[in-house]
Each structure stands twice: as C-alpha cells, then as structure tokens.
C-alpha cells in the first residue's frame, strides 16, 4: 500500500518536473520581451539566474546522456528520446545548480529582485527545483 502511494507520487512528481522544465525553458522568451530592463539588470535577477542555472545543468545532463542514447539507438533500444529526457532532467543536479547560483548571487551582493511577475515566476521555478530535493529524499527513504 505504501509502495503504491510512493510510486504514484513519483509519477506525479515526474509530470510536475516536466511542466517545470517547460516553464523554465519558456522563461527566456518571456523575460526578453520588450519593454524590459537593461541586460545588466536582468542577469542580476534571481529568477533569471535560477532559469539559467537549470538550463545549463539540463544541457550538461543531456551531454552526459548522449553516449547511452546513441548506444540504445544502435541496438534499437526502447524509447531513446525518453531516456535522454529523463537523464537530462536530473532534479538533484538542477537543485544544486540553482542553489549554488543563488548563493553566489546573494554573497556577491548582486541580488536584484524585480517587483513584476516575470522575476517572480523565475523565483518560483527556482524554489520548485530546490524543494524537489525534499521530495527526492522522501522518495529514497520510502523505497
């Protein structure tokens, strides 16, 4: 019964992570629409920094998954696209990247929040990626 709840919650968590990934990628076209602040101010906003860190860790994860996917393609393995997406969306790596980027931004004194909804959306995504660590720890403990 407990394993059934954990596996169901893992599926929901995976779906929510893909929605968060989509919003993370959509953040950039939204942020760079006019009117916008100067670029030097945009890169100091925690929402932008969180989305940059998340995207960079996804690119890093995807680059690590390419050899395994090419091997799966050569063997006609099942669902190579799903494998590369799952390997690249590693919440553990994304959470640490966002936390490290925010810590660097805060300690350097460059943390500049904007009162609008766009930076708030980026901060909410960053908070989601960091809080996903709590769910991952819960999932590991109860498996």
**If we measure between CA atoms, which residue out of 132, 118, 133, 104 comes closest to residue 19?**
132
Tell me, what's the pLDDT at 81? Answer: 60
Domain that holds residue 58: 2-141
Q: What number of residues does the chain have?
A: 143
Residue found under tokens 């929510």: 16
User: How far apart, in whole angstroms, are the C-alpha atoms of residue 122 and residue 112?
Assistant: 13
Low-confidence ranges of the chain (pLDDT < 50): 2
Tell me, what's the pLDDT at 90? Answer: 77
Tell me, what's the pLDDT at 53? Answer: 96
Tell me, what's the pLDDT at 77? Answer: 54
Looking at the structure of the chain, the number of domains it has is: 1
Tell me, what's the pLDDT at 119? Answer: 94
Specify the DSSP class assigned to residue 116: S
User: How far apart, in whole angstroms, are the C-alpha atoms of residue 38 and residue 134?
Assistant: 35
**If we measure between CA atoms, which residue out of 33, 35, 13, 31 comes closest to residue 23?**
31
> Does residue 59 contact residue 90 with C-beta atoms inside 8 Å?
no
Tell me, what's the pLDDT at 14? Answer: 80
């Amino acid at each position: 019964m407990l394993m059934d709840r954990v596996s169901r919650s893992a599926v929901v968590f995976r779906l929510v992570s893909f929605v968060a990934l989509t919003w993370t990628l959509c953040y950039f076209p939204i942020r760079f629409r006019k009117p916008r602040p100067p670029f030097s101010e945009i890169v100091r906003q925690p929402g932008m920094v969180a989305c940059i860190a998340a995207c960079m860790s996804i690119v890093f994860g995807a680059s690590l998954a390419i050899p395994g996917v090419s091997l799966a393609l050569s063997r006609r393995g099942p669902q190579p696209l799903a494998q590369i997406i799952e390997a690249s969306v590693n919440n553990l790596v994304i959470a640490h990247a966002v936390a490290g980027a925010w810590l660097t931004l805060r300690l350097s004194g460059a943390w500049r929040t904007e009162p609008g909804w766009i930076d708030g959306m980026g901060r909410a995504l960053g908070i989601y990626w960091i809080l996903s660590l709590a769910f991952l720890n819960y999932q590991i403990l109860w498996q």
